[in-house]
Amino acid sequence: MSTPENPAPTQSPTEPAHRYTPALAGRIEERWQDLWEERGTFYAANPSGALTDGAGEHAGTGQPFFIMDMFPYPSGAGLHVGHPLGYIATDVVGRFRMMCGDNVLHALGYDAFGLPAEQYAVQTGQHPRTTTEQNIVTMKRQLRRMGLAHDERRSFATIDPEYVRWTQWIFLQIFDSWYDTDANRARRISELEAEYEAGTRALPDGRSWADLSDAERRDVVDAQRLAYVDESPVNWCPGLGTVLANEEVTADGRSERGNYPVFTKSLRQWKMRITAYADRLTDDLELIDWPEKVKSMQRNWIGRSTGANVRFDVVGASDHDAAGAGAQVEVFTTRPDTLFGATFMVVAPEHPLLDEVPAAWPDGTHGVWTGGYATPIEAVAAYRSEAASKTAVERQADAGKKTGVFTGHLAVNPVNGSTVPVFTADYVLMGYGTGAIMAVPGGDQRDFDFAEAFELPVVHTVEPAGGLPPEHVGAYTGDGVAVNSTNDEVSLDGLGVADAKERIVAWLEAKGAGEGTTTYRLRDWLFSRQRYWGEPFPILWDADERPVAVPADMLPIDLPDVPDYAPRTFEPDDVDSSPEAPLGRNDDWVHVTLDLGDGPKRYRRDTNTMPNWAGSCWYYLRYLDPTDATDGPAEGTAVVDPELETYWLGPRHNATSGAAGGVDLYVGGVEHAVLHLLYARFWHKVLLDLGYVTSIEPFGTLFNQGYIQAYAFVDDRGQHVPAAEVAEGPGPDGEPQYTWNGQVVQREYGKMGKSLKNVVTPDEMYEQYGADTFRVYEMSMGPLDLSRPWETRAVVGSQRFLQRLWRNVVDEETGEVTVTDDAPDAATLRAMHRAVADVRVEMEHMRPNTAIAKLITYNNHLTGLDRVPRSAVEPLVLMVAPIAPHIAEELWHRLGHDASLAREPFPVADEQYLVEDTVTCVVQVKGKVRGRIEVSPSVSDADLEAAALAEPNVVRAIDGAPVRKVIVRAPKLVNIVV
RNA sequence: GCCCCGGUAGCCCAACCGGCAGAGGCAAUCGGCUCAAACCCGAUCCAGUGCGGGUUCGAAUCCCGCCCGGGGCACCA
């Protein structure tokens, strides 16, 4: 077995024995990876407990710095070169922070439950646990070979029973909570019961607690839990055989995963009351350092909008039958100031008002309103069934086209007593606001379109200064002042929009006709799935079909063996199908007899599993305290030791941590903007309310990395051809042309994927270049947040850089270290300190691409020297270390240092070498460069101006014209205006 | 339709608060090394910053209006 010091002879006899070849790089890399592991080099020290650093010490004076990657899904397909980009970036930051003296915590776990793992297992006919664990082993090997500075002791997978235990434990905490809107936080169910018992809190429906049976009391409480079961319309996806959360359904009504149709079906399902946190989830975005794009996506998804609920009396109907007599319809509007312009109403087709409609059309019904039907009953029934049968896709396609029908109901506008017709139309959604709107065609384009189609009157109640131009057609949605908005008691005329809103809301509230309110687009999170590969719910159903929490000491509830773990799926468009949970297939598991303190009883286990998001909702906490309760409080009842949470995550736990605390750097793709990131924030806030954490937000700083894209090539038949075998050459017109086996192929730009035949794997890169070269290339391709194309042939540039670095220290022929102990010359000193100063700035701002450029520049300077001074190259080796750690460790070692450089201080520039002896001053005439003069950096404005005016080329350019103005920016620039 | 990001050399990308358009890499060309080639070393070539206006002594950078590419949202009252 050869060692890096004594490499095996290379194939080619002419190749120097000690050249930095891929083979040598590989030996160096694997040796250091073993050494780091043996020494525990990257062990992060907790302030107390079992986890110390590699030397057995607890956390010292270094600032805690917690770095995280969005953890991977161990796919069966293996990694391609695009996947590790973020992992390398966080590794570079982590190693850099370590060299800056921070106590860095960086580890990687695996998100291993979920649909793809299950589907892969079904395909290969194996148990999901088998395939998932195999995939994790493969992925760990690929990632280890990259040399990531992770604390391996803190790695885990969400499928580990010890992890599942805590996922289920958190679920039970949420189940055991309700939201106190007065205190604006979650509290324990026992406190709710105590307040009901004491009579200090009224029951929602006004009944008396004392009068209720035990069963009734449980129903009251169960309905208020943050994790609750209810029957309501949910997203049912027959193609996947499970229900889905709103966040998992695309805008055109298909499943995000698998792209199957999704139908609305009323089912009894578990939900999480995330809506209780809508305000805090919106407001606290102010406290964290996230990309504005992600923040706005979250705000958008939560969709807070303030306005008013206004009640319209429904009239007229009583003349025909009893339906609706004395009834009211409540609408939500963000523009109560336009109430005087409401000339009709629209309710969603599913609105309960339509359950009974008048038997005959009232007087004054326009022909166009009826849709040709003889009675409102027929018209509404027809429209409702038409709307119900419309798929989300069709509805989407029809957006903008206004359909609807008059319901026969008339309502009274509370501000002016005018009678307005009530229509139903599918442009009003039952799921938003109250499912009913007041239509103001003068102020809303959608209402205007509807009014035009149905010949309804238009009243403008807002006008811009100077009034609407006579040629104005359509709604006026701009700013302006109220007009036509006066009744006997209140007038809005002349008020701006904000003032008008305030005045009319006050009037509505005084009249009892409405009140100011806030609505949200966010819905409660549908939390149950009818799949096998997920966490079972720690819930038992008693004989009365009421839920009972499994005691914490009985956790985890393991997945049962079932004869078939494939989900029961259906034809993707089978609307009438219903979910069937695979866990129900094991009768022995489902039915249990347990003594929960009131004697042995029969229970039925909940057969749902949790969504994939559950495990990723709290994994950041697991990194802090990965050894379960052994590190925690004596009873072992908390998900994370409070001391560790405060140390790593608490508000202002280091110099850059904000008031919300949280992970110091969280890197991942933007695709989780509203799913994982919203759910995790919600769980974190529940844990905060219950006192388990002190940080207000889980992720203090978020960074979205770009994607590595790739070119793919297709032939005439549209078939992809292997990208690696495509040749590029000039075509007949001089433009680049691509050929494969002699035939011309077309180039496409996009993802890297098996079916596109353009996958490049990290393993190939290790083999052909080594891990360090691969790392340097990925980091030098461009800024981290930009997507860019992979180009294997360009990797050689990074390899050349490392080879030159190697040769600056080691003789390729003999393997001898060639550095001298001579003092560097002045130019080298200046170049070195310039590089040190610049590289530090680039690293601090997470710009490895420009840091590498400056390292290359300095390395090239050293290459030009006859002998490289040790003191000139050692700082370079240290600065390279975060990006290419193996070669840096090896050179550091060969330069005579016994210890790893992982915690050597990152070089600091000496100011005195940063000032140049002279600087080149540019002299412009009318903004154009006409001359250059060498001057002292400390030259005075006056001297510089005089020198500039004397410069021969400048004199020629001025050509005797009178000088009007001279702008001097000493010492770099003079601009002469003539 | 609305919102966000981007457009600089053949390609990937730099350019701080407006101050010489170029740090780095790839490719190409030439030269050196070599019996020769590859590797390696050295050098050269290449854009006036997507388009049109404006502000300024001076604009890749700031403002206005467009074009192209990528992403997000989309009958949310």
**CATH number of the CATH domain containing A960:** 3.10.20.590
| Closest nucleotide to A786: CA versus each C1' | B6
A929-CA/B2-C1' distance, Å: 44
Q: Is A750 helix (H, G, I), strand (E, B) or coil?
A: strand
Q: What is the pLDDT of residue A685?
A: 97
Nearest nucleotide (CA of A972 to C1')? B19
Looking at the fold, whether A362 and A494 belong to one and the same domain comes out as yes
Residue A374 has pLDDT above 90, yes or no: yes
**Which nucleotide has the shortest C1'-to-CA distance from A335?**
B77
pLDDT-wise least confident of A282-296, A800-814, A921-935: A921-935
Copy the structure tokens of residue A769. Answer: 């270049």
Which helix (H) or strand (E) is A214 found in, with range? helix A214-222
Q: Which of A915, A935, A956 is the last residue of a domain?
A: A915
What's the mean pLDDT in A961-969? 84
CB A756 within 8 A of CB A712: yes
User: What SS3 class is residue A935?
Assistant: strand
Asked if residue A322 has pLDDT above 50, the reply is: no
Q: Is the pLDDT of residue A175 over 70?
A: yes
pLDDT at A959: 79
Q: What is the CATH number of the domain that holds A126?
A: 3.40.50.620
A357 and A494, same domain (yes or no): yes
Mean pLDDT of A655-666: 94
* Distance from CA(A926) to C1'(B56), angstroms, rounded: 12
Say yes or no to pLDDT of A319 above 50.
no
Contact A107, A150 (CB under 8 A): yes
Instruction: Indicate the pairing of strand A736-740 with strand A727-730.
Output: antiparallel
Model confidence pLDDT, tens digit, residues A441-467: 988 888 998 998 899 999 999 888 777
Distance CA A235, CA A265 (A): 6
Residues A622 and A504 in one domain: no
Q: What is the pLDDT of residue A973?
A: 85
Two tokens, residue A265: 């079906």
pLDDT tens digits, A585-603: 999 999 999 998 889 999 9
Q: Report the SS3 class of residue A592.
A: strand
Q: Whole-angstrom Cα distance, residue A775 to residue A88?
A: 7
If you search the block for the tokens 């903008």, which residue do you land on? A400
User: Domain for residue A189, yes or no?
Assistant: no
Q: Kindly tell me if the per-residue pLDDT of A366 is higher than 70.
A: yes
- In angstroms, rounded to a whole number, what is the distance separating the alpha carbons of residues A517 and A505? 10
Residue-level pLDDT at A880:
96
Same domain, A645 and A688: yes
| A855 CA to B43 C1' distance (Å) | 22
Torsion (CA) A336, A338, A343, A349 in degrees, nearest 10: -40
Distance A38 CA to B54 C1' (A): 65
Residues A862 and A934 occupy one common structural domain = no
Q: Are residues A147 and A66 in the same domain?
A: yes
pLDDT of residue A4: 39
What CA–CA distance (Å, rounded) separates A582 from A693? 35
Place of tokens 């850099």: A96
Closest-approach nucleotide to residue A735, Cα vs C1': B10
Nucleotides of B under 7 A from a protein CB: 3-5, 10-15, 19-21, 23-27, 36-42, 57-59, 70-77
Q: Measure the CA–CA gap between A398 and A114, rounded to whole angstroms.
A: 35
Q: Assess contact for A774 and A765: CB atoms under 8 A.
A: yes
- pLDDT at position A232, please? 82
User: Looking at residue A391, what is its pLDDT?
Assistant: 64
Rg of chain A (C-alpha set): 35
Average pLDDT over residues A213-237: 93
CA distance A687 to A174: 8
A299 CA to B74 C1' distance (Å): 15
Q: Tell me the average pLDDT of chain A.
A: 88
Q: Using one digit for the tens of pLDDT, what is the confidence trace for A118-161?
A: 888 888 888 999 999 999 999 999 999 999 999 999 999 999 99
CA–CA separation, A633 and A143 (whole Å): 34
* Same domain flag for A418 and A315: yes
Residue nearest to nucleotide B6 (CA to C1'): A786
pLDDT at residue A312 greater than cutoff 70: yes
Burial class (CB in 10 A: 0-12, 13-18, 19+), A630: exposed
Q: A325: domain CATH number?
A: 3.90.740.10
Phi/psi at A337 (5° precision): -65, -15
What are the backbone angles phi and psi of residue A555, rounded to the nearest 5°?
Answer: -80, 155
**Average pLDDT rounded to a whole number, residues A356-361:** 89
CATH for A799: 1.10.730.10
Query: What confidence score (pLDDT) does residue A172 get?
Result: 96
A508 and A359 in a single domain? The answer is yes
In a domain, residue A857? The reply is: yes
Mean pLDDT, rounded, for A239-244 = 89
Q: Is the pLDDT of residue A329 over 60?
A: yes
In the structure, how far is the CA atom of residue A21 from the C1' atom of nucleotide B38, in angstroms? 14
The answer as to whether A864 is a domain residue is: yes
Q: Is residue A832 part of a domain?
A: yes
How many Å apart are CA A616 and CA A671, to the nearest integer?
14
Q: What is the predicted pLDDT for the residue at A266?
A: 85
Strands, DSSP E only, in A21-180?
64-69, 103-106, 177-180
Q: What is the pLDDT of residue A977?
A: 85
- Report which DSSP code applies to A76: T
Domain boundary among A915, A944, A967: A915
Is A408 within a domain? yes
The mean pLDDT of A779-791, rounded to a whole number, is 88
Strand extents, DSSP E, A386-435? 405-412, 419-424
The answer to whether A686 touches A173, Cβ cutoff 8 Å, is: yes
- Asked if A558 contacts A338 with a C-beta cutoff of 8 angstroms, the reply is no
Confidence of residue A938 (pLDDT cuts 50, 70, 90): confident
Q: What value does the mean pLDDT take over residues A492-497?
A: 90
Question: Sorting pLDDT into bands at 50, 70 and 90, what band is A633?
Answer: very low
| pLDDT confidence band for A712 (50 / 70 / 90) | confident
pLDDT digits (tens, 9 = 90+) for A834-893: 999 999 999 999 999 999 999 999 999 999 888 899 999 999 999 999 999 999 999 999
Cβ–Cβ < 8 Å for A813, A16: yes
What end-to-end distance do the CA atoms of chain A give, in Å? 76
Name the residue closest to the C1' of B34 by its CA: A14
When divided into structural domains, chain A yields a total of 4
- Whole-number pLDDT of residue A11: 42
Q: Which nucleotide is nearest to A303 (CA to C1')?
A: B76
**How far, in Å, CA of A19 to CA of A16, rounded?**
6
Q: For residue A674, with 0-12 CB atoms within 10 Å meaning exposed, 13-18 middle and 19 or more buried, which class applies?
A: middle
Residue A373 contacts by C-beta under 8 Å, 6 or more apart in sequence?
A379, A382, A405
Q: Does A323 have pLDDT greater than 50?
A: no
Q: Does residue A493 share a domain with residue A412? A: yes
Classify residue A264: in a domain, yes or no: no
3-state secondary structure A681-741: HHHHHHHHHCCCCCCCCCECEEEECCCEEEEEEECCCCCEECHHHCEEEECCCCCEEEEEC
So what's the pLDDT on residue A395? 67
Is residue A869 in some structural domain? yes
Of A8-22, A38-52, A351-365, A723-737, highest mean pLDDT: A38-52
**How many Å does it take to go from CA A782 to C1' B49?**
18
Same domain, A670 and A694: yes
pLDDT bin (cut points 50, 70, 90) of residue A78 is confident
Identify which of A774, A814, A918 has the alpha carbon closest to the alpha carbon of residue A25. Answer: A774
What are A332's strand-pairing partners?
A: A309
Indicate whether A876 and A969 sit together in one domain.
no
Q: Domain end: A452, A485, A519, which one?
A: A519
CB A582 within 8 A of CB A128: no
> Residue A426: which nucleotide is closest by CA–C1'?
B75
Q: Å from A859 (CA) to B33 (C1')?
A: 22
Confidence of residue A223 (pLDDT cuts 50, 70, 90): very high
Residues 6+ apart with CB under 8 A from A461: A337, A338, A339, A340, A341, A440, A442, A443, A482, A483, A484, A485, A492
Q: Which domain holds residue A948?
A: 919-977
Same domain? A382 vs A403: yes
CA A782 – C1' B12 distance (Å)?
7
Taking the CB of residue A588, how many other CB atoms lie within 10 A of it? 8
Q: Does A537 fall in a domain?
A: no
Res. A535 pLDDT band, cuts 50 70 90: very high
Closest residue by C-alpha to C1' distance, nucleotide B42: A864
pLDDT score of A456: 92
Among all strands, which nt has the closest C1' to A297 (CA)? B72
Cα–Cα distance list, A771 to A3, A34, A78, A274 (Å): 17, 14, 17, 44
Residue A735's pLDDT is: 63
Could you tell me which residue, A825 or A471, shows the higher pLDDT? A825
Q: Which two tokens stand for residue A836?
A: 């040190």
Span A907-924, pLDDT tens digits: 999 988 887 777 778 888
Tell me if A926 is assigned to a ligand binding site.
Answer: no
